Amino acid sequence: MTLTDYTDLVADLQRVVGEQFRQESDILNVPGVSMACRIDEHYFLALESMLLKKLGMWAAVLPSRVLEALIKTGNMLTCPPDRVHSLELRTTWEGLGRFARINACFVQADFFDRALKIYASQSRPLALGNLYVHADDRPRVEKFFKGKTPPASWLYQGEPG
């Protein structure tokens, strides 16, 4: 049995993120538009299907291969024992006025930070993306993050934006 090396694929994914960001910066950090938004210094919260489809399309690989590479390299968080990688969460942002249910996944901020630094010449990490999760979803998120650093408390909001 051979082990798959995902180094080249992850580098390609980061390259295409950087290239796309240079052309269209709202691919990240614009709630309701972007595939992922920074939620704290450690993580981006991403719309699972949009993230996998866009990265797959830009890198010319199947979304399932993108998912596999992100999980196997630790760039996408999973919850043991079944390695669940996504949660249905209620999210909001300023001006939305309601909570929207999304199938979300959590990506290490370093994945995007490196992509933007190396391939988009961004000298600093992106600021927070003003995306919030319903306060009642906090226990599920914390259970998902058991044994890991959970997202910062400012992620949770009781009222819609």
Task: Classify residue 88: in a domain, yes or no.
Answer: yes
Query: CA 49, CA 67: separation in Å to the nearest integer?
Result: 10
- Render each residue's pLDDT in the chain as its tens digit; 161 residues: 566 889 999 999 999 999 999 999 999 999 999 999 999 999 999 999 999 999 999 999 999 999 999 999 999 999 988 889 999 999 999 999 999 999 999 999 999 999 999 999 999 999 999 999 999 999 999 999 999 999 999 999 999 87
Residue 94 forms part of a structural domain: yes
Q: Are 22 and 110 in contact, with CB atoms under 8 Å apart?
A: no
**For the chain, how many structural domains are there in total?**
1
Q: What range defines the domain where residue 21 resides?
A: 7-155
* pLDDT at residue 1, as a whole number: 54
pLDDT value of position 3: 65
Does a structural domain hold residue 29? yes
Asked whether residue 67 is domain-assigned, the answer is: yes
Give the pLDDT score at 49: 97
pLDDT for 80: 84
Q: Is residue 160 part of a domain?
A: no
Tokens linked to 135: 């306060």
Alpha helices in the chain, H assignment, sequence order: 7-23, 48-59, 63-72, 109-119, 138-144
Whole-number Å distance between alpha carbons of 97 and 21 = 28
Residue 2 confidence (pLDDT): 61
Q: Give the sign of the dihedral formed by CA 68, CA 36, CA 113, CA 12.
A: positive
pLDDT at 12: 97
Whole-number pLDDT of residue 141: 97
Q: Is residue 1 domain-resident?
A: no
In the numeric block, which tokens belong to residue 70? 């992100």
**Considering the domain boundaries, does residue 2 fall inside one?**
no
In the chain, the amino acid numbered 77 is L
> What is the token pair recorded at 36?
């992922």
